[in-house]
């Protein structure tokens, strides 16, 4: 139908938000058992494809092909336990190796008894958890954007449709006006999940009312934050949700062409998106008569070269047009003059993947989740020193404590939580005192951090905050496009100060110098890359100022990390003279007679940490400044 055709009677829909937490798969209609092998990037890297092949071979060898179906899925979420496989829809096998598959097939699939030694075990009790739905990591989540990720085979359109794919688009294109779609999205309260948090419905309305017969829609899949992989997992695990969201958005704003800008470093996402586009076109969901509605919509893929700055809208558009990815001043905004000078709307992958759920369940169901000004859910990638690293989704307004300890399972090795870097390299480092901060746009802004795209990097008490701030600033400094002086040179000057502090050459006034430079860079940079680049430095100074002062005034790194401020020594009481450290030392800096205490020559020591790692008696002591620290203080 045309865009001006009035809607007919609405299609009934499920108003309950319960489906947000439903990540199970219904049993196969033919009665066969199902084995789902995770084929997300983390699991593939860990060898899951070999595990999949082993399942196929062992099922065939056991003559169980008529009783067992072996399939692949997208990222199941618990990446720290990769590779994963779910058997009979309930049992989660973790860190599974191909040679263990025969045992699983023989004892579980053929014999009906799960293999306890390969099953996920509760980190607190060590007891196997027989049903993966009861694992704290999954139980504490509410999945909407990730509703099908890890559940369906992302390369099987029929399976996606069985879970509701394209039903929302069918409803929107055949029973709703574009204005009604925009109103639904606006009323839901969803804000852009790419980091800026601009209201999605308002953004669509701007593009809808912008004059012009030709308009474009862009899906921003240029996820570049270190430790962030939410968008990649959605594109890999549920590509049809992204395409359906684009189709609905295109219809709402009046665009007939859509582009997915995805970094080339995501080859699996690119391949599955290409297949999904071809399958959707063949099935009539995309193309000249999308969903048999008379609306034309096509989707194209543009692979980006991996420049972090291309996550900024105007830089992304420049790259898509074949020019160097550099931001430009605004106005005009893309909604007025974007791709090839035409009105353009840009949305993040997670935002678009959420839109079909909103259309299907209604704005009220989505708005019922989350915080007052931050509705719905948000996907996060948990990385760093957390027990359950991986992909998770929780309602906005959830606290950092809930995500890190209830979902993430706390800190590895029982060590103390120190900080979380939230929002990627442009985010902020928040201390333990702020663990009960709700994750919403306004609350985090007050702390100096941002929601960002959703990366959470957790660090423990062995992390040096000066070193951590330097790591993230080094990333943004290298990723600066160089167009504006404040970002290009300001971040470089800040990096030089941090390097001097870490080298033991810090001097009084360096903290204030960093704060002054950061203020200038934030206020005068052309785009958000420069405007947010100083955040890690400013928040570590704000919450961990004493560590900066220790580096500068005492020439001491409290965490025992900065090489210039530490020395290695051997405790003569603990040393047994086993000579293992001397044999492993790459510079022969360790000397001593067998069965006698050894010594380290500071002049020859390159502080590679090999001696501490190989010592079985904890005899190697790391000294920082004038105060020695135990060897355990260096444990990662």
**CATH, residue 445:** 3.10.20.600
**pLDDT in the model for residue 25:** 36
> Which residue is it, tokens 């940490």?
609
The span from the CA of 316 to the CA of 325, in Å, is: 6
| Same domain as 258, residue 169 | yes
Residue 5, in any domain of the structure:
no
Residues 162-175 have a mean pLDDT of 97
* Burial (CB count <10 Å: 0-12, 13-18, 19+), residue 323: exposed
187 shares its domain with 269: yes
User: What is the percent of the chain with per-residue pLDDT over 70, rounded to a whole number?
Assistant: 94
- The pLDDT tens digits for 412-452 are 989 999 999 998 888 899 999 999 999 999 999 999 998 88
What pLDDT does 286 receive? 98
Residue 31: its pLDDT value, please? 75
What pLDDT does 246 receive? 98
Q: Is residue 71 part of a domain?
A: yes
Q: Which of 366, 385, 412 is the last residue of a domain?
A: 366
Better-scored residue on pLDDT, 195 or 293: 293
Confidence of residue 147 (pLDDT cuts 50, 70, 90): very high
CATH of the domain at 614: 3.30.70.20
pLDDT at 4 over 50: no
Q: What is the C-alpha to C-alpha distance for residues 393 and 128, in angstroms, rounded to an integer?
A: 24
Residue 409 neighbours by CB distance under 10 Å: 22
Q: What does the DSSP 8-state code read for residue 124?
A: T
Same domain, 68 and 124: yes
Question: Are 175 and 42 in the same domain?
Answer: no
pLDDT at 471: 95
Minimum mean pLDDT range among 169-173, 300-304, 306-310, 534-538: 306-310
How far, CA to CA in Å, does 551 sit from each of 77, 464, 561, 562?
A: 39, 10, 11, 9
- Please indicate, yes or no, if residue 7 is contained in any of the structural domains: no
d(CA 509, CA 513): 6
**Position 379 confidence tier, pLDDT thresholds 50, 70, 90:** very high
38 and 116 belong to one structural domain: yes
- 5-37 confidence digits (pLDDT tens): 323 222 333 333 433 334 333 344 567 899 999
CATH number at residue 128: 3.40.30.10
Residue 141 located in a structural domain: no
170 in the same domain as 123: no
Q: Is the pLDDT of residue 509 over 70?
A: yes
Is 105 within the bounds of a domain?
yes
The pLDDT of residue 378 is above 50: yes
In what helix (H) or strand (E) does residue 459 lie, and over which residues does it extend? strand 455-460
Stretch 84-105: mean pLDDT: 95
| pLDDT for the residue numbered 627 | 39
When the pLDDT of each residue in the chain is averaged and rounded to a whole number, the result is 91
Task: Tell me what pLDDT residue 195 has.
Answer: 77
Q: Are residues 181 and 274 in the same domain?
A: yes
Is 372 inside any structural domain? no
Query: What global pTM score does this model have?
Result: 0.89
Question: Are 309 and 177 in the same domain?
Answer: yes
For the chain, the domain total comes to: 5
Last residue of a domain, one of 402, 432, 460: 460
pLDDT in tens, 106-132: 999 999 999 999 999 998 889 999 999
Do residues 295 and 220 both lie within one domain?
yes
Q: Is 143 contained in some domain?
A: no
Q: How confident is the model over 606-636, as pLDDT tens digits?
A: 999 999 999 999 999 988 874 344 343 344 3
What are the E-state strand segments in 157-286?
216-221, 257-263
Which of 636, 634, 149, 222 lies closest to 424, judged by CA?
A: 222
CATH number reported for the structural domain that contains residue 281 in this entry:
3.40.50.11540
Residue 307 has pLDDT above 60, yes or no: yes
Question: How confident is the model at residue 30, as a pLDDT?
Answer: 65
532-550 average pLDDT score? 96
Tell me the percentage of the chain whose pLDDT exceeds 90. Answer: 85
The confidence score (pLDDT) of residue 123 equals 86
Q: 187 with 270, same domain?
A: yes
Please tell me whether residues 269 and 329 are part of one structural domain: yes
Nearest to 598 by CA among 584, 619, 613: 619
Shared domain check, 268 and 130: no
Separation between Cα atoms, residue 428 and residue 443, nearest integer Å: 13
**Is 10 among the domain residues?**
no
Domain with 69 in it: 31-135
């Amino acid at each position: 139908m045309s865009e001006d055709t009035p809607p007919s009677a609405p299609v009934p829909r499920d108003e309950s938000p319960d489906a947000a937490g439903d990540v199970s798969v219904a049993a196969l209609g033919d009665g066969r058992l199902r084995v789902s092998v995770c084929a997300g990037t983390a699991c593939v890297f860990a060898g899951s494809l070999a595990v999949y092949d082993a399942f196929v071979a062992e099922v065939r060898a056991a003559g169980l092909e008529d009783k067992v179906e072996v399939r692949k899925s997208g990222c199941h979420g618990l990446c720290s336990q990769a590779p994963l496989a779910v058997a009979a829809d309930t049992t989660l096998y973790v860190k599974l190796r191909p040679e263990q598959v025969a045992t699983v097939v023989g004892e579980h699939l053929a014999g009906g008894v799960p293999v306890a030694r390969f099953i996920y075990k509760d980190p607190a009790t060590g007891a196997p958890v027989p049903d993966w739905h009861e694992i704290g990591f999954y139980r504490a989540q509410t999945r909407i954007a990730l509703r099908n990720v890890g559940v369906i085979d992302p390369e099987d359109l029929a399976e996606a449709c069985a879970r509701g794919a394209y039903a929302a688009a069918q409803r929107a294109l055949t029973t709703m006006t574009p204005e009604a779609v925009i109103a639904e999205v606006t009323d839901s309260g969803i804000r852009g999940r790419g980091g800026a948090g601009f209201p999605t419905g308002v953004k669509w309305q701007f593009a809808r009312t912008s004059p012009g017969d030709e308009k474009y829609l862009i899906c921003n899949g240029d996820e570049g934050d270190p430790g962030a992989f939410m968008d990649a997992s959605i594109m890999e695990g549920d590509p049809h949700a992204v395409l359906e969201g684009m189709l609905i958005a295109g219809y709402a704003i009046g665009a007939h062409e859509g582009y997915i800008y995805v970094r080339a470093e995501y080859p699996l996402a690119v391949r599955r998106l290409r297949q999904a586009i071809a399958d959707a076109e063949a099935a009539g969901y995309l193309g000249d008569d999308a969903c048999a509605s008379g609306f034309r919509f096509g989707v194209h893929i543009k692979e980006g070269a991996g420049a972090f700055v291309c996550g900024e809208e105007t830089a992304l558009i420049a790259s898509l047009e074949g020019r160097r990815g550099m931001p430009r001043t605004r106005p005009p905004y893309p909604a007025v003059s974007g791709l090839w000078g035409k009105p353009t709307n840009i949305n993040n992958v997670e935002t678009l993947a959420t839109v079909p759920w909103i259309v299907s369940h209604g704005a009220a169901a989505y708005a019922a989740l989350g915080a007052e000004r931050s509705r719905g859910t948000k996907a996060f990638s948990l990385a760093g020193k957390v027990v359950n690293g991986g992909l998770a989704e929780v309602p906005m307004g959830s606290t950092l404590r809930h995500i890190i300890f209830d979902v993430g399972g706390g800190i590895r090795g029982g060590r103390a939580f120190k900080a979380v870097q939230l929002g990627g390299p442009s985010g902020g480092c928040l201390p333990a005192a702020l663990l009960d901060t709700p994750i919403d746009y306004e609350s985090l802004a007050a702390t100096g951090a941002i929601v960002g795209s959703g990366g959470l990097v957790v660090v423990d008490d062995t992390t040096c905050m000066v070193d951590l701030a330097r790591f993230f600033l080094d990333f943004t400094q290298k990723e600066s496009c160089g167009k504006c002086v404040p970002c290009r040179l300001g971040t470089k000057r800040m990096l030089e100060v941090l390097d001097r502090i870490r080298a033991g050459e810090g001097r009084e006034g360096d903290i204030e110098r960093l704060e002054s430079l950061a203020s200038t860079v934030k206020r005068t940079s052309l785009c958000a890359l420069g405007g947010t680049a100083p955040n890690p430095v400013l928040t570590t100074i704000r919450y961990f100022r004493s560590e900066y002062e220790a580096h500068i005034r005492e020439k001491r790194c409290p965490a025992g990390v900065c090489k210039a401020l530490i020395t290695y020594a051997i405790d003569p009481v603990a040393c047994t003279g086993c000579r293992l450290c001397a044999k492993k030392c790459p510079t022969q800096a360790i000397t001593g007679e067998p069965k006698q205490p050894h010594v380290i020559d500071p002049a020859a020591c390159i502080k590679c940490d090999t001696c501490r790692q190989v010592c079985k008696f904890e005899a190697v002591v790391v000294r920082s400044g004038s105060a020695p620290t135990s060897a355990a203080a260096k444990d990662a």
